[in-house]
Amino acid sequence: MPADEKRLKVLFLCTGNSCRSQMAEGWARALKADIIEPYSAGTKPHEVDPLAVKVMAEVGVDLSNQKSKSIESLKDIRFDYVITLCDDANETCPFFPGAVKTVHVGFDDPPGLARAAATEEEALAIYRRVRDEIMVFVEEMPDHLPDMHE
């Protein structure tokens, strides 16, 4: 059996596919490539957030070649899990055919919180916090998600 057939296909879904879902995909590629085939998409895709790219580069995860994708662009992939990372994506998550399990794990919105930051360094601190929270979540995969470990 090819290695890809053994790995779980996981879609990280957020509204813009510009920050949180990109970070999650990057972490999954860096930390769990042996067991997870990660994807990310957005319900309303935007450009990848440059501050997300910057804070991920600080920890050795390169998002600079990532592109924001729509769910529609991944319609032919049969996912094992769809993990929504923001409330909007959770509320507007489309139906996926097959035995897809949908799980919501919400994280703060770095761009939204950073609007109140007085400096770029204050904004980056917000991005770093969320980056690190997403890393912990991905590190614990697949054991902490329902039925992923069966």
Residues acting as catalytic residues: 14, 86, 93
At residue 86, what is the residue type? C
List Cβ<8 Å contacts ≥24 apart for 125-129: 127/19, 127/51, 127/52, 127/54, 127/55, 128/55, 128/58
- Give me 2's structure tokens: 């090819």
Strands, DSSP E only, in 66-120? 81-84, 101-104
- Give me 131's structure tokens: 């980056």
Q: Are 150 and 144 in contact (CB under 8 A)?
A: no
